[in-house]
Amino acid sequence: MKAFMNSLEWSSFLTVEGQPKPFWILVRKEIAGHIRSWRFVILLVLIVLTFWGATSVAMGNLREVVAKTKDVDKLFVYLKMLTTTAGTLPPFHVFLNFLGPLLGISLGFDAINSEQQNGTLTRIMAQPVYRDNLLLSKFVSSLILVGALLFSLSLLMIGGGMVITGVLIEIEEVLRIMSFIILCTIYVGFWLGLSILLSIVFKQASTSALTTIGVWLFFTVFYQIVINIAAKTFAPAANEVSQMEMLHFNELILNLLRLAPSQLYTDATTTLLMPSVRSLGPVTMEQMAGAIPSPLPFRESLMIVWPQLCGLIAATLMCFALSYYLFMRREIRT
């Protein structure tokens, strides 16, 4: 009886009087539009090719390691497929640090201004559709596409790894890979929310695209250069300060670097995909004393990256909330 009531509640959430709700109709329309667009197909091909290249190199190296190792349960084979490199290609999560923002920007830079330029925004608003449903459908549909893409690639990686290495995947690896997928989706969602925000602010799609790419380039390339120059300029001499003061200075520099979304993503993915990582900040010799060099459990790794994950979620929600505020107050009549 309880299951029947839950199914009724879920059906009422999706439909109204047996018909799909306008929100889900818009979501299906946006997903279909993205799948048919050439820019999404091109980015999809790029991501699949980089994933295939990075994982094939990792599988070739791991095949020999698995053959020589007796206890393969402690190798974390499927995590190493995402992190191992032979020097020719970087690992897949490093590739995704570059391609993920491009995917989010391409899905959202013309979300609103193109609708208004084509005259379809007034037609949609003439229907029994709320403004927030339109904006939310563009955001949710893109996240569904990104999540489905990353989940499919992970399943292909796991299946190919089982065929090539013959090693069964562990629960620990499943949890870490699923957390990696969620983290990547949130990371792409931040750039998606920022691009949708700029598509509301600017009337031209080209202006919003160039502005979003400029913000991405600043945080990815130039922001780290500026922080490094400032750190070298204001860094105290090692013989003039104590070890604790130098440690606090290094923590300040790391916190400034973590204002960039790419740094938050790098810290979180490194900890989730590499169980041997025990800390993301400077560690003194006293803190390392007595530490056992063993992989961290998934729960402890998740606790380490929880601030980074919360930072990405907060930044994504902030961008979407500002988009919501501006779009609800915008005049859309021609």
Residue-level pLDDT at 315: 92
Nearest by Cα to 247 from 222, 194, 283: 283
Please enumerate in sequence order all residues whose Cβ is within 8 A of that of 30, keeping only pairs 6 or more positions apart, or say none. 137, 138, 141, 142
Q: Is the pLDDT of residue 314 over 90?
A: yes
Domain boundary assignment for the chain: 21-328
Q: Which of 124-133, 195-204, 225-234 has the lowest mean pLDDT?
A: 124-133
Of the pLDDT bands very low, low, confident and very high (cuts 50, 70, 90), residue 291 is low
What mean pLDDT comes out for the span 123-134? 79
Nearest by Cα to 302 from 186, 183, 184: 183
Both structure tokens of 93 = 């999560």
Cα separation values, 20 from 27, 139, 180, 314, Å:
11, 19, 32, 31
Cα separation values, 118 from 10, 110, 175, 203, 307, Å:
35, 11, 44, 12, 42
Of the pLDDT bands very low, low, confident and very high (cuts 50, 70, 90), residue 87 is low
Please enumerate in sequence order all residues whose Cβ is within 8 A of that of 318, keeping only pairs 6 or more positions apart, or say none. none
* E strands present in the chain: 15-16, 19-20
Cα separation values, 187 from 227, 303, 329, 331, Å:
22, 18, 27, 31
Q: What is the pLDDT of residues 27-62, one digit of tens each?
A: 888 888 888 888 888 888 888 888 887 777 777 666
What mean pLDDT comes out for the span 277-303? 67
Q: Is the pLDDT of residue 130 over 50?
A: yes
The whole-model pTM stands at 0.85
Distance of CA 170 to the CA centre of its chain: 23
Average pLDDT score over the chain: 79
More confident position, 274 or 313: 313
Q: Is the pLDDT of residue 194 over 90?
A: yes
More confident position, 332 or 305: 305
Residue-level pLDDT at 65: 58
Nearest by Cα to 221 from 108, 109, 101, 313: 101
What mean pLDDT comes out for the span 305-328? 90
Q: In whole angstroms, what is the distance from residue 80 CA to residue 84 CA?
A: 5
Q: In whole angstroms, what is the distance from residue 63 CA to residue 50 CA?
A: 20
What mean pLDDT comes out for the span 108-116? 84
Residue-level pLDDT at 249: 76
Q: Which of 71-85, 219-233, 283-297, 306-320 has the lowest mean pLDDT?
A: 283-297
Nearest by Cα to 205 from 128, 111, 124: 111
Q: Is the pLDDT of residue 191 over 90?
A: yes
Region of 90 (left: φ > 0; alpha: ψ -120 to 50; beta: rest) is beta
Q: What is the pLDDT of residues 217-267, one digit of tens each?
A: 998 888 888 888 887 877 776 666 666 777 777 788 888 888 889 888 988
Range ranked top by mean pLDDT from 159-163, 295-299, 322-326: 322-326
Q: In whole angstroms, what is the distance from residue 185 CA to residue 151 CA?
A: 10
Q: Is the pLDDT of residue 63 over 80?
A: no
Number of H helices, E strands in the chain: 15, 2
Of the pLDDT bands very low, low, confident and very high (cuts 50, 70, 90), residue 92 is confident
Residue-level pLDDT at 196: 92
Please enumerate in sequence order all residues whose Cβ is within 8 A of that of 301, keeping only pairs 6 or more positions apart, or say none. 176, 271, 272, 275, 277
Both structure tokens of 299 = 């729960």
What mean pLDDT comes out for the span 102-108? 89
Q: Is the pLDDT of residue 5 over 90?
A: no
